[in-house]
Amino acid sequence: MTSRETAAKLKSNIWIIYVANFLKGLMFFLPIYALYLQQELFTVFNVALIISIQSVFVILLEVPSGAIADLFGRKNTLIVANIVAIIALIFLSIGTSLIFFIGYAIFIALSESLNSGTDIAILFDSIKNVNKEAKKEAIALSKAAIESKTITPLSTDIHFKKVIGINSSMWQIGASISAVIGGVLAGQYLRLPIYATIIPFILALILTFFITEPQYQKEKHSNILTHISKSGKLFIKKKQLLILFVAGFLFFAFGEVEHQLNAIFFSFKGIPIEYFGLIFALIFGLSSLGFLISHAVSSKFGNKSTVIISEILSILLIFIATLTFGIWTSILIIISSLFWGIRGPIITHLTNLETASKNRATIISIGNLGNRLGLAICVPIFGIISDIYNINFVFQLTSGLSFTAVFVLLFLKDKN
């Protein structure tokens, strides 16, 4: 296979993963998920319990699943992840008691763990290999052939941070579209959005079979525990990764808790449920815009400054939202999602800069472990606080505590 053919196949991975992520963003039930659980399980604590169980199982499976992807192939890992996600959605759609929702939480946790870091690793190594093939071709081609334009050289202008921004935006765009449709479907029957979600997930599964596994340096052994141990030692030695780990823990301990409980917050603020679909569509839409402009903004202002400023602005907007009611609450939450979107690709980019290909999926999974720990530990605590006081007090509390993440980010190194 020529350099050009190899590069073309690897480039196709990018759009395949784009489309698959868009399809997996079509989760029509997201706007009413928390309310759906509350309707079936009666209290905010029970809702938080399901979210926490999901996070705990992601924590248990996160790093082993990354090692599986590194050792046994990332494409196969994504295929299994999509199959398990479909099983999870079936559990959610037929749930009538706590056991069904626990089943959903466990299966969706397994799917998220298998997917976590795997698609990013495929994208990073695909881009890395495309650029490598382009350089090989440039050396092989004569300068005269290129200058005379008889042969168009392969482009090497593929930036990972830009690609990851677009990739992340695909999920958000899908979620934005599905939020509007899901709100309408929920008005007909609360389970209908869950049934509708299964279809795009089946299509995403089919697409995954067309991915080309990029070449990367693999370990000679296939021992999962050995690979986890080696990757863990490498992670601990990298100060930058440790800072990102702690920051991720704090982002999810406070910011993601807010996101998970948004529907309950909006209900408390007197916003009618029929508007939830539009509000969540705008939240996902604006965060998608954040993902898309992240590369341009951070290239101008620097990675570190962009992450810190984005976090501060997001915190302030959410806190002000707790002092308002109705439409102003939703507007402030929607605007805050832009800064969440800007931050995401930069964090992923900085993580990958510190990671070797043979450990990439595992290292990313270890980083994601911090995120999940934050959510798993804090969401039930804030659920109890919400039942004792109210959800508005919880959002004020999490906004204040989020400044601890800003402090940690001050120690981050700005790398290109």
Please classify residue 153 by burial: count the beta carbons closer than 10 Å to its beta carbon, then call 0-12 exposed, 13-18 middle and 19+ buried: middle
Report if residue 416 sits inside a domain: no
- Given a cut of 80, whether residue 210 has pLDDT beyond it is yes
Q: Contact, 307 vs 257, CB < 8 A?
A: no
Average pLDDT over every residue of 58-77: 80
Report if residue 148 sits inside a domain: no
The residue with greater pLDDT, 39 or 143, is: 39
Range of the domain at 274: 10-127+154-211+230-409
Report if residue 26 sits inside a domain: yes
Report if residue 260 sits inside a domain: yes
Average pLDDT over every residue of 324-347: 89
pLDDT digits (tens, 9 = 90+) for 265-299: 888 888 887 787 788 888 888 888 998 898 889 88
- On average, the pLDDT of the chain sits at 82
What is the Cα–Cα distance from 230 to 5, expressed in whole angstroms? 35
pLDDT digits (tens, 9 = 90+) for 359-374: 777 787 788 778 878 8
How many structural domains comprise the chain?
Answer: 1
Average pLDDT over every residue of 183-201: 86
Average pLDDT over every residue of 11-20: 89
> Which pLDDT score, from 0 to 100, does residue 234 have?
83
- Per-residue pLDDT band for 221 (boundaries 50, 70, 90) equals low
For the chain, report the end-to-end CA distance as a whole number of angstroms.
Answer: 33
User: Among 98, 198, 162, which residue's Cα sits nearest to residue 291?
Assistant: 162
The residue with greater pLDDT, 206 or 121, is: 206
Nearest-10 crossing angle of helices 327-353, 276-301? 40
φ/ψ of 219, rounded to 5, equals: -65, 150
Dmax (CA) of the chain? 76
Average pLDDT over every residue of 401-405: 92
Report if residue 184 sits inside a domain: yes
What is the Cα–Cα distance from 326 to 270, expressed in whole angstroms? 6
Report if residue 143 sits inside a domain: no
> Which pLDDT score, from 0 to 100, does residue 145 have?
52
Which CATH number belongs to the domain containing residue 69 in this structure? 1.20.1250.20
- Given a cut of 60, whether residue 408 has pLDDT beyond it is yes
pLDDT digits (tens, 9 = 90+) for 336-392: 999 988 988 888 888 888 877 777 777 877 887 788 788 778 888 888 898 888 889
pLDDT digits (tens, 9 = 90+) for 236-265: 888 888 898 888 888 888 888 888 788 888
Report if residue 245 sits inside a domain: yes
Report if residue 4 sits inside a domain: no
> Which pLDDT score, from 0 to 100, does residue 151 have?
46
